[in-house]
Amino acid sequence: MKILGMIMAGGEGSRLHPLTAERAKPAVPFGGKYRLIDIVLSNFINSRIYALYVLTQFKSQSLTEHLQEGWRFSSILPDHFILPVPAQKRTGESWYRGTADAIYQNINLVQDRDYDLVAIFGADHIYRMDIQQKVQYHTEKQADVTISAIPVPVDQAHQFGVIQVDKAGQVIGFQEKPKNPTPIPDRPNLAYVSMGNYLFNAKFLTEVLFSDADKAESSHDFGKDILPSVYGNHAVYAYDFATNRVPDITEEEIGYWRDVGTIGSYWEANMDLRNVKPIFNLYNRKWPIKTNSFGLPPAKFVFNVEGRRGQAVNSLVSEGSIISGGIVQDSVLGRSVMVEGSAAVINSILMDRVHIGPDCKINMAIIDKDVYVPPGTVIGYDPAEDEKRFHVDKESNIIVIPKGYKFPSSK
């Protein structure tokens, strides 16, 4: 069975500003050494699906470079590729008007080869999935479309789009943030929430996209328009993500899925990595998360000239980083980070090449790449002062310092 993966990586990610000021949302760093898009790409490759198009649109340069540097197959294998596809206005004068329109504008990529199934996935969620198990479910149900769904407690489901199903798992309705969510049959305490990724029969996908393209009233979105228009007349099924098992998955990670659409959720997803037994385990060798290799030296923890010992507790420290007399606790550090003597970094995310000077105190902060924090700087302890100097996320109160930010005392 020939499967094509189409990854939606054009998201502007305005709610992640200023992390998305210079990059597309899927290119935002994650877990010290990865980017968000590495998660979905690793799921496809580990699932033995090797034909992948990545649809880009906003601020895609760093994302494209990342794909070219770290995600290349040999040209000897024609059905093994990971290729970025920029928005090209192939079908008119508009850029992508919705998720369905993004696929429609590139429908030639589906039609050019004889694919049986098209897997349409987002590029900015954190989870592990063996997609072949979803394919097997789709095939057994003889489905036209299969939607990945997460069972969540009914009292929390009002925050999401809820999928209504019958006892066989066939979709019979959709509810957008309902006050009284419909539970899963025989599971009265749970309701299905859409994960926003879909498996289509290739021929059926082509038909519904052409039908939707000419509808003036449509927003050309899978969740809002395509799926609600087909579930009553076609075989649309929900796939229970909680039944998916990848090798060596822990009990805590079963059903784990995070939408990192906000600064708060992004910070929380990174913090899920830091514990001795992390919820999302980066150390699973049988289902690895892949990314670029930069050939940097190992991380180093050393005494500084004053005899203070550099140390990290419950933290991820990426290659090339040096903790020289400082302390890092409950944090995630990117590549080539420097933390100098008597500095303390707590509950924070430091991206590549951040330099923390001596005697700094950093708490509940996200510091983007290439930032030098001058000696004695205090961040995260005086809300009023932080509001004056930095971007403070209104919902989470996390401080975000953008890429390349220059402190007033920096040269």
Q: What is the mean pLDDT of residues 133-152?
A: 98
Tell me, yes or no, whether 121 and 11 share the same domain.
yes
- Annotated binding site for alpha-D-glucose 1-phosphate: which residue ranges? 96, 161, 176-177, 194
Q: What is the mean pLDDT of residues 392-397?
A: 96
Tell me, yes or no, whether 96 and 203 share the same domain.
yes
Answer yes or no: is 199 within a domain. yes
Q: What CATH number does the domain containing 141 carry?
A: 3.90.550.10
Answer yes or no: is 292 within a domain. no
Q: How far is CA 191 from CA 162, 177, 186, 371, in A?
A: 7, 12, 11, 44
Confidence of residue 88 (pLDDT cuts 50, 70, 90): low
Q: What is the pLDDT of residues 51-81, one digit of tens each?
A: 999 999 888 899 999 998 888 876 667 789 9
Tell me, yes or no, whether 310 and 260 share the same domain.
no
Rounded Cα distance, 316 and 330, in Å:
8
| Domain closes at, from 254, 271, 288 | 271
| pLDDT value, residue 91 | 54
* Share above pLDDT 70 across residues of the chain, in percent, rounded to a whole number: 96
Rounded Cα distance, 46 and 57, in Å:
26
Count of CB atoms situated within 10 Å of the CB of 340: 21
186 within 8 A of 168, measured Cβ to Cβ: no
Tell me, yes or no, whether 219 and 312 share the same domain.
no
200 within 8 A of 222, measured Cβ to Cβ: no
Work out how many domains the chain is built from and give that number. Answer: 2
Tell me, yes or no, whether 264 and 343 share the same domain.
no
Tell me, yes or no, whether 266 and 394 share the same domain.
no
Tell me, yes or no, whether 245 and 132 share the same domain.
yes
Q: Are strands 125-127 and 257-259 parallel, antiparallel or unpaired?
A: antiparallel
25 within 8 A of 348, measured Cβ to Cβ: no
Rounded Cα distance, 318 and 262, in Å:
24
Confidence of residue 11 (pLDDT cuts 50, 70, 90): confident
* Share above pLDDT 90 across residues of the chain, in percent, rounded to a whole number: 80
Tell me, yes or no, whether 239 and 133 share the same domain.
yes
- Annotated binding site: which residue ranges? 96, 161, 176-177, 194
Mean pLDDT of the chain: 93
| pLDDT value, residue 307 | 84
| pLDDT value, residue 329 | 97
Answer yes or no: is 330 within a domain. yes
Q: What is the mean pLDDT of residues 266-285?
A: 93
| pLDDT value, residue 218 | 87
pLDDT of 294 > 60? The answer is: yes
Tell me, yes or no, whether 320 and 255 share the same domain.
no
Note the helical H segments in 215-273.
227-230, 263-271
Q: What is the pLDDT of residues 302-348, one digit of tens each?
A: 998 888 899 999 999 999 999 999 999 999 999 999 999 999 999 99
Answer yes or no: is 290 within a domain. no
Answer yes or no: is 76 within a domain. yes
Q: What is the pLDDT of residues 174-187, one digit of tens each?
A: 998 899 999 999 99
Answer yes or no: is 379 within a domain. yes
| pLDDT value, residue 95 | 59
Exposure b/e, 375-409, CB count within 10 A at least 16 = b: eebebbeeeeebeeebbbbeebebbbbbbebeeee
Range of the domain at 22: 3-271
Q: What CATH number does the domain containing 338 carry?
A: 2.160.10.10
Tell me, yes or no, whether 237 and 116 share the same domain.
yes
**Which of these ranges, 8-17, 131-140, 225-234, 400-409, has the smallest mean pLDDT?**
8-17
Count of CB atoms situated within 10 Å of the CB of 67: 24
Rounded Cα distance, 141 and 136, in Å:
9
